[in-house]
Amino acid sequence: MSPQELQALMPSVFAPWIVAMEMELLESQPGSVRIRLPVKQEFIHVGEMMCGQAVMAAADTAMVLALINELGEFRPLTTAQLQTSFLRPITGDHCIVTAKILRRGRKLAFGSSDIANPDGRLAAQATGTLTLL
Amino acid sequence: MSPQELQALMPSVFAPWIVAMEMELLESQPGSVRIRLPVKQEFIHVGEMMCGQAVMAAADTAMVLALINELGEFRPLTTAQLQTSFLRPITGDHCIVTAKILRRGRKLAFGSSDIANPDGRLAAQATGTLTLL
Amino acid sequence: MSPQELQALMPSVFAPWIVAMEMELLESQPGSVRIRLPVKQEFIHVGEMMCGQAVMAAADTAMVLALINELGEFRPLTTAQLQTSFLRPITGDHCIVTAKILRRGRKLAFGSSDIANPDGRLAAQATGTLTLL
Amino acid sequence: MSPQELQALMPSVFAPWIVAMEMELLESQPGSVRIRLPVKQEFIHVGEMMCGQAVMAAADTAMVLALINELGEFRPLTTAQLQTSFLRPITGDHCIVTAKILRRGRKLAFGSSDIANPDGRLAAQATGTLTLL
């Protein structure tokens, strides 16, 4: 599926709260996506930095999109588990989320999401287990 | 700190996006908090269920509040790592998030958050590592 | 299954490397087990303390035994994911591993293992996802 | 440090139980190592496959070695948290563990370990948080 097709699918798959994050699909390959996440004012916490909750939400969403693109179509699926490590602050006005499916079985899939600053420095890394229903 | 004091602290600590979730502090003890998270319409995804991203955000937020309450005041801290397992759907109009600090060292703290349905059945469980800056 | 039955099952289920750890089944309930893990000399590392690798191995093994006891018999299953947090050193000559199944579905199960010092203080906590084959 | 120097360091840092795994250092760069882990008979479980416990132990050990090599010398450090996902069985008589440090701060470091089959197919992936004492 093209970035445009995945983008168009988002409102029918994800909660309005996630759609309102305004993630922008930049690239898609079977089993992987690259997404731009804007650092909106509402994501900024007391430390004057992007909050980790938005980073986790984007990491999960990108991994689901990567799996949809691996499958070639939307099918019912759910995240069983997500682990996120927060390495560095996100600076600047956006970050880049790169998600890929590491392994797809019949029932389970494993994926990872890297969240990087615009300069390419890794800010967070997530790994997850997804269930195909 | 009382539930009211922790509630009043939230807008100065968390991002507006998190404050808008309208988490309600029900109880607080040193090192633990109990919170009501409403299942708002904007959190509902295609499966007609509460999205996992909101569950993770609440789990992290509650763990931070539990640590603030362990410290007795707000001090700069950050989540280094959060792992969440999604056990069951959240049904009904709210869920209960119970967070506690399992261990506080000088630099690091470890916590857990249980997210339960109103009937008490566990919906998700998170564990995290927090850094005191 | 009784602690004795689970103990007797171990050599046919686990690798000899795990059996040689000499974990001792103390109690069993459907979906949970309590195990004594001796702090053998070969588990001690440079810090004069029990190594984390042995703690993870015991946490995983105990979770599998809890699932077998939830199922009531051995069935093919595998660990999809295990996350362990190391809270405190293990002191003394043994630790107690308490594993329980938090949720069992048709294909997936979720479990946790607490590893405690003999005085009851939590030394490590693990959560895992297990697949029923 | 060279692979030979790291190899020589192992008995003074790790528990005898880990040294007996006979991990072989193949390559080292600042912040990364590549290791050969033999699939010894004692690691094989009921499914006729390499047990996950040995994979976790090797993932952790390799990450610690990568951090020692990032530091340029052994300094007291400990694993705070390790998460491992098991993607595929390990087949053949050995696997290759590639660990790297993703981020080193003053107190905390983040690392990852990939465990691959000899043909390069990923069998497991681990991420961890390490504390510098």
A131 chain-C contacts, CB cut-off 8 A? 107-108
D129 chain-A contacts, CB cut-off 8 A? 85
Give the closest-approach CA distance of A110 to chain D in angstroms: 7
Number of other residues whose CB lies within 10 A of the CB of residue B20:
13
- pLDDT in the model for residue D46: 83
Nearest-by-CA chain B residue for A62 = B53
With a cut of 90, say whether residue C71 has pLDDT above it.
yes
With a cut of 90, say whether residue B46 has pLDDT above it.
no
A115 chain-D contacts, CB cut-off 8 A? none
Nearest to A127, CA basis, from C63, D55, C81, D99: C81
- pLDDT in the model for residue A102: 98
Residues 70-129 of B with CB under 8 A from A: 76, 78-86
Q: Interface partners of D (3+ CB pairs, < 8 Å)?
A: A, B, C
- pLDDT in the model for residue D29: 97
Q: What is the pLDDT of residues A93-119, one digit of tens each?
A: 999 999 999 999 999 999 999 999 999
By Cβ distance, the residue of C43, C61, C76 closest to D17 is: C43
- pLDDT in the model for residue A48: 86
Residues 3-42 of C with CB under 8 A from B: none
B38 chain-A contacts, CB cut-off 8 A? none
* DSSP reduced 3-state for A41: helix
| Predicted model pTM | 0.97
Backbone dihedral region of D72: left (phi > 0), alpha (psi from -120 to 50 degrees) or beta? left
Please, what is the average pLDDT of chain C?
A: 97
- pLDDT in the model for residue B48: 86
> Class of the B3-132 domain?
alpha beta
B88 chain-C contacts, CB cut-off 8 A? 103
Task: Write the ipTM.
Answer: 0.97
Confidence of residue D48 (pLDDT cuts 50, 70, 90): confident
Give the closest-approach CA distance of C119 to chain D in angstroms: 21
Rounded mean pLDDT, D70-74: 95
Number of other residues whose CB lies within 10 A of the CB of residue D11:
12
With a cut of 90, say whether residue C126 has pLDDT above it.
yes
- pLDDT in the model for residue C47: 83
CB contact under 8 A, D80 and B131: no
Please, what is the average pLDDT of chain D?
A: 97
Q: What is the pLDDT of residues B69-121, one digit of tens each?
A: 999 999 999 999 999 999 999 989 999 999 999 999 999 999 999 999 999 99
Q: Interface partners of A (3+ CB pairs, < 8 Å)?
A: B, C, D
With a cut of 90, say whether residue C44 has pLDDT above it.
yes
Backbone dihedral region of A83: left (phi > 0), alpha (psi from -120 to 50 degrees) or beta? beta
Give the closest-approach CA distance of A27 to chain B in angstroms: 23
Give the closest-approach CA distance of B35 to chain C in angstroms: 21
* Residue A126 structure tokens: 């997530």
Nearest to A107, CA basis, from D94, C107, B9, C44: C107
Looking from the CA of B95 toward its CB, the CA atoms found within 13 Å total 31
With a cut of 90, say whether residue A2 has pLDDT above it.
yes
